[in-house]
């Protein structure tokens, strides 16, 4: 995930959650971050749109974000 700018602390917390709790690979997160630079949108939605997380995983991510 080198050379990708993470904008704020909440982004870092989200990425840590994705890697540690959801077991999403750093490669998948990097792909989503690259796509978010070209097509801005919430990182969880980008992960889902590119098939990097399932709908069930997406729901868990949004549950975490709400807590």
Return the CA Rg of the chain. 11
Domain assignments of the chain as residue spans, ordered by start: 21-66
Distance from C-alpha of 54 to C-alpha of 67, rounded to nearest angstrom: 20
Distance from C-alpha of 13 to C-alpha of 23, rounded to nearest angstrom: 14
pLDDT the model gives residue 64:
95
pTM of this prediction? 0.81
Q: Average pLDDT, stretch 18-33?
A: 94
Residue 18: both structure tokens together: 């994705």
pLDDT the model gives residue 7:
55
pLDDT the model gives residue 58:
97
By C-alpha distance, which of 34, 39, 63, 28 is closest to 55?
A: 63
Answer yes or no: is pLDDT of 29 > 90: yes
């Amino acid at each position: 995930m080198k050379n990708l700018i993470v904008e704020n602390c909440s982004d870092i917390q989200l990425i840590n959650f994705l890697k540690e709790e959801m077991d999403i690979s750093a490669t998948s997160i990097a792909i989503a971050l690259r796509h978010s630079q070209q097509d801005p949108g919430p990182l969880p939605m980008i992960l889902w749109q590119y098939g990097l997380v399932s709908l069930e995983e997406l729901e868990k991510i949004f549950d975490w974000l709400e807590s």
